[in-house]
Each structure stands twice: as structure tokens, then as C-alpha cells.
Structure 1
């Protein structure tokens, strides 16, 4: 019997990864990574003197095509398989990552007249400059008692589609008017490969306020936001919405030639990266929560019932696995938080010692921090260096570190930041369960579980729960490949359902992280103090974080030429 393969294409924040998978058993045959040539654009536009304001995060969409052009041929060449054996392609993407395009689907930033217009570029998921628009969306939805708001924990985010699109309209109306559509990047890549203008129900549900039975918010709601937005859905969100596991289209002859694949290869509807990681971790049953741990941390929970809980980033029917309700929550800085400290806060002598031992600074700090007991640092932190996504949903919040003395050492701070991330996750889990949605099993995936064993043990100790780890180190790409195999269908040698495909293509490791009860008792006490800080700084009792931000923005405006 001829082997069949699927390709998963995982678009992250800094790079794109292509994974070739044997669909019979999930064996990962070959992988290749292409770093985005332009990276994250958060200081100035490429090849220009245009300086970006704070909280901006853009990308150049041709970087996404570079991943296709370089990494797909690379995995085919290194594997030596016959391209005819590849039956499906799946694509996952950071979200909400959006771009304005013309009637041909060409990004407006490709056009010469808009090369120096920031709003013509991709707005990356962590673009937070639309917070004012998000605030006004929330205020209007509350005033009008809009039904959709409860599905998102009572608040929408500056990271999402409507806020970002409205920012374009407010600050660059020419770009808004010229845009035939404003698209999720996942849908845009699918459009390139297939010429099919399909929108993902996953992206639309979690990031654009769409509902399976109710559709998008009404024209009356958009008109109340801004009369210019009355026809926003009809004019900017065109395209059929298809569910996960569906075939969005087939690979065009042009792209087949560029990639070295067969024309007609099935291409799945796009999916958000963390949601793909759930399938790639084997989580396809109610009560399972997947923690996708990388630069940020996304919590994906499956349930057989719909309950609306405070601050949850969304509940969407069929949003992760068809037939179940998928809940999303998250922390917008975890790996990024630890990386910030290593890059900006570690003294030179630590770097010298790490180099002397031949290990990374992260590994060296982990080694030193492992020698400390819970509470021994005397420190406590709020993990909001990139705002709060759950449960407060407020990008204007910032980080906090309490307890510093002249005796504080770098490893103390490092361990404190690890603990803060775990406290943030515990807060999310408790919020789910207090609302009536059970969390029966925790599965971790992503880069952090592979690199930082201390972090994983702290997460187990803080939550008081066993944490299993997905066997694959590339769960998002594997999950995308699973959706590609389902899009191909049984008639082409693929699968009929996500559950069937995941049961064959995924597994968890035998080793897991179990809580140390002695440590958990101490962390229970520290978590009580974390909660006090969470409520004081997060719910308006002490508004210093936002006051500092207002002063900063004012002074930056005065300092700008």
C-alpha cells in the first residue's frame, strides 16, 4: 500500500515551519523553518524613515510566501518522497493577524503608492494600538446589550479584527476605502494557494465576533459604533465561512509548480495556531485543556456545553474540534517575558558564567533558580509585560515586580517570573471551573515544555495538577497536517474526522509533571497574594499602570520630531 503524507504549515511570530507527516502514524518525516526576512516590524517601516508609534506590530506579507517558496520544496527534497503521495495541506497562523487587500487579493502594501503607509501592512496579532477602538466596542456592546459580548467574557480585545479594522478607518481612511477585503492572514495564504476566498470559521468565530447561528453582529451595532462601519461585514468581510476540517480548495497549477507538489492537492480551511496545537496534542475530548506554550501561552479547552465566563477570549461551537465547544484563553507574554529579562535585565557576569559552562543564559538561570525553594526569593510578580488577555482583557496593563531588595539576585527574578506565568494560568483555570466548565486534563505543547523543565514543574506545583506533555515538539504544524489529512478525505487516503486522524497521528509522552505537595502548599499562600495584586491593579482599584502609560505616550509625542 502506497504511503500517504500531509503537510502542515505553521506560521508563527518570527518564522514559518513546514512539516511533512506520515498520516498513518504521525511520524514526522521532515521539517524546515524559514525566518521572516522582515521579522516583526515594531520600530519603523522597512526601507523608510517612517517611525511606528508604541504598541504597533506589523509584518510584510511576502515573508509568508517566502515560507512556502523555501520550506515546502526543502522538506520534499530532504524526504525524497514522490510529491504524488502528499494528499493534503493544512495551514495554521497566529491570530488575529490581518491585512487589507485589493479585489485581486493583493496586499495594499505591495502597491507603490502605499509602501510608506503603516496601515497598508499586516497587523500582527500583538498589535495593540487599537485599544481605544476596543474600549469603544465594549462600551457600545454593553450599552446595547449585544448578545455576542457574553461569548467573549464581557470584553473584546484590541488584538481582534473589528478593532484593528476600525483603527484603519480612523487613522487611514484611504486605505480602508481602497481595501476590497480585510483578511485574516491564514485565509489570505489559503487564497494564494487555491484562488478560493474562504474564511475560516475558527478565525471568524474567535477573532471577528461571528457565530454559527447568529452570524456577525448586526448592521445596527456597527452603525452605532460608527456610521461609516454600517456595511463593514458586507464590504470588508466577504467570503464563504467554512468549518475546520473542510477543504477550502485545491492547489493551483501555478503554486504546485512553485512548491513541487501536484495540482489539485487538497488545502484545508485555515486554523489559528494554538487551536491546531490542540489537535496536534491529541486533545479531542471534552475536559481536555491544551496549553500551547511559546512566546505567548494559549489555553484551549474542549467542552460539551456552552457557558459564558468572565474574560475568556471566546467560546465557539466547532471552534477546535467539530461537535464540541472550544474555549480560548491566554497570556500574551510568557516566553517573551523570560526572553525580555534575559536580554534586558541580566548583568554581564551571569552571561560570562553561562558562557564558561557552555550553556545558554536561560539554561544557566534555570539551573540557579532550581536551587531555590518556593517563596525563598521574597518576590512576587504580575505577568502583564504585554498586557492581560485573560481574564481582565486589558492591553493597557503592565508588569509588576514586588519585593526587590539589595540582596535580590538575577536567578530570584527569573524564578519569580516563571512563577508569575504559572499563577496567571491558575487564575484562568479557576475562572473556567467557577463558571461551570470542568478542566479534567492538562496537556502542554510548544517550545517551552521542551526547553524548561523547571517551568513545567512550577506549573504543576502552582496548579496542583499533573501536566502531560505532547510527544511532538511541533504540535501546531502536526495539527495543521492533521487538518490537511481530513481535508483530503477518505477517498484520497485521508480521514473522515479530526477525532479519527488525531487518534492515529498523535500521542503524549510517558513522563509527566506531578505536583510536589510541599511546594503546592507554599504556592497556595503566594497565589493568594498574587490574587490581591491582580484585583488591585487589574480592576481599577489602583490605576497607576494606566497613568504611567498616559504620561509615557504624552512625553513621546512631545519628543517626536
Structure 2
């Protein structure tokens, strides 16, 4: 019996594919770029056909590099950003842009065009809002769909199927209209813990009484790893596989990372409530798990079964983290391309500067990192970033100093979320990190020292792909369920403890960080005066 697995991870800028064996070892990995269109402020769009082509190219390349025969791949699954894809009843793209061609049929997760609609959802006071932390985010599906129906009624009238991006990919792979419990519960206000998951009264109150038909939504979501059927002939050709490969219900990219780093704790005892998954790349998602629901204000959830089976999850996050460091490089360097090489140079120079200045490097420079709003714990998409303490220094060392202090601010923002979650009953003392930040030595040091938590860095070279491979293993019958897959495919990791000598410096930074939040609120209040 074939025992190999394919996993496809669609991020903001690229599609990545990995080939795994049944023990969770990744044999090969490949990546293909995806185009992002940002024609105006707060609008971000993609072309779903471009995304699917990237998935095919990455999968074929990974398969070739692995040396595995196509017929030996038993299962495949997909994870993706929580973007929204709109197609008509025949499957043709329906444009979501105010001024672009039809091929831009995908509203990207980071798009904030629907802030007014999100506020309207919050103001409804409907009990579904209790399961998104009390405040609806414009990054979720319902406000974006409200915007689409109101602002582009012709597009809405043509819609015959609307997908979260993960579910679009499983549809392309199988032709199945089934949707993942992960996507619908986390982003579409589906209540997986209730006998009837959809709250049709809420949809009607938001003007989406026709959503079920327009989106071709099923009444019941499918758990992660459920077998959705074999690859179609067309999909098998695109992906370089065969129609013998089974397709498993997928999950959101960050949730796949949580499964990849914490899957071995699924089905276990209270220890899981001491661990948090931090999936950190362009943005950062933090996920905490519990055996009973924990209502936590301004963090998403509690959601049931959206990453680890039969466990509740609360999700917080930073809308920009890695993207903020990219932005700092761009604005300081006059539009310099924030390549991995540039980040590496900056991190190396920071290490040199700290040899003489220590943790007090640029000690009067302070940053509030909310350049794209505050997802949590403030749940304020209109929040703005703040930089205090700039001088006339425009040198490369000046960039390095600001980069260091912005990294401190990102870690302080994580501490802010952690404190809110622990106030609700969690006892988190260990961060399990996956994503691009594991390759940034500055951030990895700060995550431990600023939060005071132990940091577990997974041995798996790509924990997000690993989590998706776990889902594929269940769909293909390689492992009987996600609990078994999580334990059998776990790759371990290295533990990093916080440096106690750093505590005093970062405690002072924490006090400044909170003061800057208060001062920002005071300024906003003055500006709001009539």
C-alpha cells in the first residue's frame, strides 16, 4: 500500500508543497510564487487560477525532487490563508475588484475593505459574536461578503459558489462542495459545537439570507482529515499525481501549523493548556487549546475542532509581524527590497551592535506595532502604529536599531496577547513556534526573553506542511485519525529558555509599551472631539 503523502500550503505570496512519509519525515519541498494585487488602501486581491497553477507547479517539483512515484502518493491535503474565492455556477471567476478584470476573484485574508460591515456584525449583539471574542474582524468572511453584496451587486448576483481558499483547493482537486470544519467555524460563524451549525437568523440580519445558495454551502461541515474522494483526472494531471490519491478535508494555514507543532498532544490531558502555538510569518497567529470552552474577549473563538480534534481553541494574532519588519526595511532604505539576504545582514549587524550596547541598543526608540490594526488583544482594525524616539540617523546602522526595536515591539505585542489569554484561565508557559520567524535569530531570542516563556522550535523543517500532511494521512487511511497521526508523525524540537538577565530591561520596555497605548488612546480621543 502506498504510504507517501503530499501536502500543499498556500500562503500570502507563494504556494509550497511537500512530500512526506508516514512517520512525518519530509522528503522534498518546492515553492512557486503567487501574485498579490493591492490597487488601493485596504484592498488586497488574488487570482485563484494563479494560485491553483502555483499549487500544481510546486507539487510536481516536490514530487520530482523526492523520487517518489506518483502512484505511491496515497493522500493529499491543502492548507491556505483564509481568503475568499468567488466563482459563478459554472466555475468561472467572478471579479471582486472595484476596478480590475474578472480574474481577480479572491479577497485576500489581510484585506480590510469591510471594516464598516464588521462593526455592524459586532453591533448586532448576536450570540455568534461571542465566539469571535466579542468583536467581528474585517478579516473574516461574513463582513467581506456583506461588502461584496452591497458594493458589487452585479458580481453577487453572478456568484454560484463561494469558498474559503482551502475549500476552493479541495473543490479543484475533487469537484466536491464539502467544506472544512476548520474554515467554516473559524471564519464563517459556523458553530461546530451545536447540532445545527449555521445561525440563519444572523445571516438574514446581515443581509445574507441568500448566502447558502450563492456560496453553495453545505449544512454540515467536514472534520479535518475527512476523505473527500479521489483526485479528478484534471487535478491529477495538474498536480503530477494519479486518481488513486485521496483528498482530505483541509485547514487554514496557521491551524495547520498548530497541528504540526502540537498534534502529539491531541487526545492528552491538561498539559495541552500550558502550550501555545505561534505560527509566525507575514502575520502571527497564536493558538491556545483547552478541554472546555474559554470565553476570552478580543481573541477569536472558542472554536471546537478547528486544529486539534475534540479540543477548543482560542486564537489571537498580529495582523503584521514579519510584514512589519519588511515595511521597516522598505521605508528606511528608500524602497529597498526586504529580501532574506537583507534581513540576514540586519540581524548580523544587530548582533555586532549589541556587543557594545547590549539590550540597551536604541533604548530610547519605542514602537507600537499596529501598522495594520490590532487583531488582538484590542480587536481594533483601525489602530495605527507608533514610533517614538527617531533621530536624523539615516544610515544602515540606523535601520538596524529601528529593526531591533520593532522586533522588541512585536514580542511585546505577543506578551500582550498572552496575558489576556492567561487571564481567562490558561496557564501558558511554552511557545511552540512554526513559520518563517524560526529563521530570524533576533525574533527567536526576543520571543523567549520578552514573554518569559520557554520556546520550542520544531525539528520539522516546515511544521505547517507537516500538519497538512497529518490531515492527508488520515484521509488516505495511512493513520486512523488525527490523534494517531499527530503522535506518529511528530518530529520533536529544541527547547529554548528565557534569559533571566534580560527580564529587567524588557519589563521596562513593557511599561513603556503600555504607556504608549494609553497615549495613543488619549490622542485619538482628542481628535474625536467635535
2:27: which partner in 1?
29
SS at match of 2:179: strand
TM-score for the superposition, normalised by structure 1: 0.85
Q: Does structure 1 residue 463 correspond to structure 2 residue 446? A: no
**Residue 286 of structure 2 is aligned to residue 304 of structure 1:** no
Does the aligned pair in 2 maintain the 1:21–1:481 contact within 8 Å?
yes
Q: Distance in 1 between matches of 2:503 and 2:169?
A: 45
Q: Does 1:279 align with 2:259?
A: yes
Mapped contact 1:313–1:389 kept (Cα < 8 A): no
Structure 1 residue aligned with 2:185: 205
2:347 to 360, 363, 377: 363
Q: 2:400 aligns with which of 387, 396, 411?
A: 411
Cα distance in 2 between the residues matched to 1:280 and 1:30: 17
CA distance in 1 between counterparts of 2:241 and 2:164 reads 25
Choose from 353, 360, 365 the match for 1:379. Answer: 365
CA contact (8 A) 1:165 1:182 kept: no
Q: What is the aligned counterpart of 1:424 among 394, 397, 413?
A: 413
TM-aligned CA distance change 1:503 to 1:221, over 3 Å: closer
State the Cα deviation string for residues 364-407 of structure 1 (Å, max 9, x = none): 44334544433442122111111111111222111101122456
1:200–1:271 CA contact under 8 A, matched in 2: yes
Change (3 A) 1:247 1:541: farther
Match of 2:269 in 1: none
> 1-side partners of 2:320 and 2:349: how far apart?
19
The range that moved more, 115-124 or 437-446, is 115-124
**Pairwise mapping of residues 129-528 of structure 1 onto structure 2 (< 5 A)?**
129-141=113-125, 146-212=126-192, 213=194, 215=196, 218-226=199-207, 229-236=208-215, 238-239=217-218, 240-285=220-265, 286-287=272-273, 288-346=275-333, 360-368=344-352, 370-371=354-355, 372-377=357-362, 378-406=364-392, 409-450=398-439, 452-489=440-477, 494-510=478-494, 512-528=495-511
Matches within 5 A, 1:61-100: 61-95=48-82, 97-100=83-86
Deviation digits for residues 275-331 of structure 1, max 9, x if unmatched?
101122244432221111111111121211101111112221111111111221110
Q: Is the contact made by 2:17 and 2:62 (CA closer than 8 Å) also made in structure 1?
A: yes
Write out per-residue CA displacement over residues 341-378 of structure 1, whole angstroms, 9 at most, x where no aligned residue. 11221379x99xx99xx984433443345444334421
* Root mean square deviation of aligned Cα: 2.6
Label 1:237 to 1:214 Cα distance change in 2 as closer, same or farther (>3 A).
farther
Gap change, CA 1:471 and 1:30, over 3 Å in 2? same
Could you tell me how far 1:215 is from its partner in structure 2? 4.4
* Aligned residue-pair number: 512
Rounded to whole Å, the distance in 1 between the matches of 2:248 and 2:371 is 35
The ranges of structure 1 where at least 4 consecutive aligned residues each deviate by more than 6 angstroms after the TM superposition are: 544-547
* Inter-partner Cα distance in structure 2 for 1:300 and 1:308: 14
Counterparts in 2 of 1:395 and 1:115: CA distance versus 1, 3 Å: closer
Q: 1:180 to 1:332 in 2, by over 3 A?
A: same
User: Is the CA contact (8 Å cut-off) linking 1:369 and 1:414 kept in structure 2?
Assistant: no
Per-residue CA shift, 1:180-209, capped at 9, x if unaligned?
Answer: 122111111100110100111111111011
- Shift in CA distance, 254/155, structure 1 to aligned 2, threshold 3 Å: same
The secondary structure found in structure 2 opposite 1:374 is helix
User: Take 1:410 and 1:217, find their aligned partners in 2: how far apart are those partners?
Assistant: 49
1:316 counterpart SS class = strand
For residues 98 and 509 of structure 2, what CA distance do their matches in structure 1 show? 51
Could you say if the C-alpha distance between residues 541 and 165 of structure 1 is closer, same or farther in structure 2, counting changes exceeding 3 Å?
A: same
Q: Flag the 1:266–1:3 CA change in 2: closer, same or farther, 3 A.
A: closer
| Cα 1:419/1:403, change in 2 over 3 Å | same
CA contact (8 A) 2:329 2:399 kept: no
Conserved 8 A contact 2:87-2:105: no
Structure 2 unaligned runs (5+)? 266-271
Q: Deviations over 1:161-187 (max 9, x none)?
A: 111101111111011111012211111
Q: Corresponding residue for 1:125?
A: 109
User: Which segment drifts farther, 427-436 or 528-537?
Assistant: 528-537
Does the CA contact (< 8 Å) of 2:287 and 2:316 recur in 1? Answer: yes
Other-structure match for 1:105:
91
User: Structure 1: how far apart are the matches of 2:468 and 2:504?
Assistant: 40
Deviation of 1:130 (Å) = 0.8
Q: CA deviation at 1:84?
A: 2.1
Unaligned residue ranges in structure 1 (runs of 5+) = 44-52, 548-561
- Evaluate the alpha carbon distance shift between residue 546 and residue 388 of structure 1 in structure 2; reply closer, same or farther with a 3 A threshold: farther
The one-character-per-residue Cα deviations of 1:461-516 (angstroms, maximum 9, x if unpaired) are 11111101011231111111110001111xxxx00122221222222333x32211
